[in-house]
Amino acid sequence: MTVLEDIVAGVREDLAEREAAVPLDALKERAQRQPGAKAALTALGGGQDAVTVIAEVKRSSPSKGALADIADPAGLAADYEAGGASTISVLTERRRFGGSLEDLAAVRSRVDVPVLRKDFVVTPYQVWEARAYGADLVLLIVAALEQAALTSLVERVHSLGMTALVEAHDRTEAQRAVDAGAQIVGINARNLHTLQVERGTFSKVVDVIPPGVLKVAESGVRGPYDVLDYARAGADVVLVGEALVTQGQPRQAVADMVAAGNHPAVRAVRP
């Protein structure tokens, strides 16, 4: 069993418990009481001469274990927003990442920028959960889904007014993301088999994604210079987690990356 398969198996077990506790109809009622989802594509600045930042609330990971004791995820998200983050990503997977839907709701209540539910979404129920707890974007991982299921989930996310961030790890997966109707494609440099970061992944895959689809560089962003490197490779957005939660000044760290994304050197390489 691969790391991804093991994680998804745990996700399905936890999901079964939630489905037993909260019927889908009740979840839909909660979702329908939410304000409309925020415009993620606008917030992330598609077509502008800058690279924007998605900042992540992340307690732990399968590759590094515990990263940070985040007692106040909403407070951390507010720091990210103050630093200039365009979107906040919230891990909601419990077993490997220490997250929860309550974290998502807390962040949504505190910030004005769009919020991404980052999890291993494999069923429509989880999409309804995302909307019910205030998400504006939903992560969908190509490697975890058959193509028909991926396309269906993209359509469901969009039908609820949210935006799907569809994550790929290679050229084949990136093409599948595009074929599924993704408006935002993330290219994750972390190898799912070894959990190592291979920073050249983005540049090897990005040309598969057509103009008009936002390109997000995921993993391997340690500081402003990595933002510049990804910008030169064609990224529109960077998603940053570990580098923000493992040092003591998250607001300043985000601000430094946002400044790098607005650097004249970035504008010079934008199409």
Supply the residues annotated as catalytic. Answer: 56, 58, 118, 167, 188, 218-219
Q: Given the DSSP bridges, would you call strands 65-66 and 52-57 parallel, antiparallel or unpaired?
A: unpaired
Task: Please give the single-letter amino acid code of residue 18.
Answer: R
Task: Please give the single-letter amino acid code of residue 263.
Answer: H
Q: Please tell me what DSSP assigns to residue 248.
A: S
Name residues whose C-beta falls within 8 Å of residue 193's C-beta, 6 or more positions apart in sequence.
2, 3
Question: Per 3-state DSSP, what percentage of the chain is helix, strand, and coil (rounded to 5)?
Answer: 45, 15, 35
121: left (phi over 0), alpha (psi -120 to 50) or beta: beta
Using DSSP's 3-state secondary structure scheme, residue 56 falls into: strand
Q: Please tell me what DSSP assigns to residue 232.
A: H
Q: Contact at 8 Å (CB) between 93 and 99?
A: yes
Task: Please give the single-letter amino acid code of residue 3.
Answer: V
What gap in Å lies between CA 101 and CA 219, rounded to an integer? 23
Q: Given the DSSP bridges, would you call strands 184-188 and 163-168 parallel, antiparallel or unpaired?
A: parallel
What gap in Å lies between CA 174 and CA 151, rounded to an integer? 13
* Rounded to 5°, angle at Cα 238 from 267 and 66: 150
Q: Please tell me what DSSP assigns to residue 206.
A: G
